[in-house]
Amino acid sequence: MRLFFEREAPKSNLRTPRPSVLPDRADLSVSARYKGSRIGGDYYDFLPISDTRMVFLLSDVAGKRDQALHIAAAVQDTMHERAPELLSDPDANVSDGITALVLDLNRIVMQVAGGVRPAPTFVACLDEQFGLIHYVSAGHPPAFIKGNGEVTQLDPTGLPLGLFSHATHDAQVSVAQPGSSIVLVSKGLIEVSAGRHEFGVDRVRQTLQEQTFTSAQDICHDLLDRAVKYSEQPSRFGPQFSIAGFRSSHEPNDLTVVCLMRTAKVAAAA
């Protein structure tokens, strides 16, 4: 059954995003881990703006996979073009830049989709010089900052992208001091289930609170492995089986974890 926002497009015209490149920095451990499915359009990316600024994004475009990734490719082009224009100036207001960037991303989602296309998205700029993260969480699952023995939850700040052409999302600011980790998880990972119970936001938060990690890679591997093992548990009605020719009542979605871990102190400006 086709959803109301899905439109047929010639497959010959459909694109996919360029592979995301993990930044190689001595003071920042960056990682992403992904488990794909036949549906969903999870897309993550990283874009260094300067020696101390890093823009990153995690988006889940709704709809059939090939169409969702086509939209994600346009989002990637817009982000790589506009983010340096808005944020490369050392005196640029980072929060204003992220707010403007998200406005552009929202418009490109609707333009390429030809109308409404829900796309929960987390967009942020890590400013290591001042130890801050400027972010917009447009209908996206909560992000987390783990540091100083505490886990801070960054809740959604507005509706998903792709719903209203002139929607605005004001950037929020949180602290990301040296030694802290910024963790993003996709909607698919939160909603992966064993029987009727989802993996959930609380399990992500509890894992980050209780476990000790030495790198961004450790966090991504641990969270994704826990979610996959949780989904493989038998329900109270017994093991779950996949029968050829029959669709499951709950199609699996993409599972994605993204992490940026600050590993060295950066001198703050006077």
In this predicted model, what pLDDT tens digit does every residue of 254-266 receive, in sequence order?
899 999 999 865 4
Ordered by where they begin, the domains of the chain are 23-235+250-262 (3.60.40.10)
Asked if pLDDT for residue 241 goes beyond 60, the answer is: no
* Integer Cα distance of 51 and 94 in angstroms: 15
Mean of the pLDDT values across residues 62-87? 94
* Integer Cα distance of 199 and 231 in angstroms: 8
Asked if pLDDT for residue 267 goes beyond 80, the answer is: no
**Residue-level pLDDT at 196:** 74
In the chain, what percentage of residues exceed pLDDT 70? Answer: 84
Asked if pLDDT for residue 165 goes beyond 90, the answer is: no
Alpha helix positions (H), 114-253: 187-191, 200-210, 216-231
Please give the single-letter amino acid code of residue 243: I
Which residues are 189's β-sheet partners?
none
Mean of the pLDDT values across residues 55-84? 94
Contact by Cβ (8 Å): 195, 222 = no
Q: What separation in angstroms does the CA of 184 have from each of 90, 157, 247, 266?
A: 26, 15, 30, 23
